[in-house]
Every structure is written in C-alpha cells, then in structure tokens.
Amino acid sequence: MTFDSPENTETSSPQSEIDAAATAGPEGTLPPQAEPEPAGEEVIGVRRGMFGISGTGDTSGYGRLVRPVTLPGSTPAPYGGYFDEIVDALRTALAPTGTPFESAIEKIVVFRGELTLHVRREHLPLVAQALRDDAALRFELCLGVNGVHYPHDTGRELHAVYHLMSVTHGRRLRVEVSAPDADPHIPSLYSVYPTTDWHERETYDFFGIVFDGHPSLTRIAMPDDWRGHPQRKDYPLGGIPVEYKGARIPPPDERRAYS
C-alpha cells in the first residue's frame, strides 16, 4: 500500500513554501488546502497540483493547488476504547525485559479509528514478541506488511507498516517502523510472525527496505536483475513497451505530452 507524498525537490521548509504560495496567486490568498497545519499534525512536505505534475503542461485544471503533506502527530492519553488497555498491557510486558516503554515506542497515534504504535526499529522484534506472547495482548496473527515512501520525511523516508490481529481478544493494531534512505534496514519479523515471509519480500522488492534476518530476501514480483524499486515515489515512470494485437503501446515516459 502506498500513500501520496510530495513530488517537488526544493530544499526550503514546507511551511515557508505554503506561506509563499499565499502571495503567488492572482488573488493573493492561500487556498483552504494549504492553510498552516492543525495542532498535532506534522508537515513533511508540500504537494503542488492535483497529481504532483512537474516539468510538463498541466491539463487537469488543478495546477495552482498548494497543499501540505502531513502525518498525524502523537495522540495524548487516554486513547479510548480498548486502546488504553493495549498500551498499558504492553508497558507491563516490556518492564521485565529491561527495555523501557518510552525507549521502544517512538509515539502513539490514534487516527481514523485505528491505534498505531510507532516502534523504533532496533526494538521491533522485542515489541512484536511481547504483543504476540503476553496473555493480555495475544496478537497472534500478522495480516501483512506494507511499505510507504515519504521522500521528504528527512531521516524517516521509508516506513514499514504491520497489521496485527488478536484472534483471542478480537482486536486490531497497526505497528509502524521507519528507516532512512541512507540506511534502509529494519529487523525481520519472520521469527515472530512466519507469515511475513512473502510480505517482507514484496516490500523489499517494491520499496528497497532490507529486512535483516529474513531467510531468503529476494525479489518476488520483479525480475532478479531489475534495477530500483518501482513503488518508491522517486522512481522514474519509465516502463516497457507493451505489444497488444499488433499495436505497440510505449512506456509512460515516451508518450506524447499535451500542452
């Protein structure tokens, strides 16, 4: 699963770009989509236009939109529902390990009815095992691993998202881990959740996240000699021509541009 992220390569701060856009338009006003971020949200970049088009004519009619790209900020307790029970139980489960809860958990986010634990990558296997084995938690099943690429989330460009389910208690949980482009390593959870085998391979294939400790981290969809990771936001369109019933359809970067 992927999410929208900014396509521009400017080095100025996101908020300064939003402020500058306030005087760029003919009316000199800031569009509603580009207002300063609400309290509790983190601005990681700016998205221009509807589709992040750059270097070509915009035929969509939305080229003047300027919107901040935000991530939900940390949610203060209480979290509501069974979310507080999960956090309290995990805090108790980590105590005997000698790893403080605050060292393992970077932040806790409740957003759109989901609880997400942002775990520091070096503590991921420990936290996952506590979530699986503790009687008050019992998240026995990992439903999958998703990769996300935020090019302008400096030092946290690559994210891996694990969806966990407790069959025992009928609960769900998201665990999110980040790594920088310069060091795209995250510990594999294969030893805790064997079902992550193919999911981690797919995330590696498409996003380039290296899952340390995986028994066979090879490509799963792209050819072995494929260069790059095609679901990353900085991956060029490129492509391979498609032959279909005598017609040749060129790859996206060779198609005609409209102005």
Q: Residues 11-21: pLDDT tens digits?
A: 455 555 555 55
Q: What is the pLDDT of residues 28-85, one digit of tens each?
A: 333 443 333 334 788 888 877 766 556 555 666 677 788 888 888 899 989 999 999 9
Contact 258, 57 (CB under 8 A): yes
pLDDT of residue 197: 96
CA-CA distances (angstroms) from residue 4 to 62, 188, 235?
16, 26, 14
Give the distance between the most distant pair of CA atoms in the chain: 67
With a cut of 50, list the residues of the chain below it in pLDDT: 1-11, 22-39
pLDDT of residue 239: 67
Domains and CATH numbers, the chain: 82-212 (3.30.460.80)
Contact 75, 28 (CB under 8 A): no
DSSP single-letter state for residue 245: T
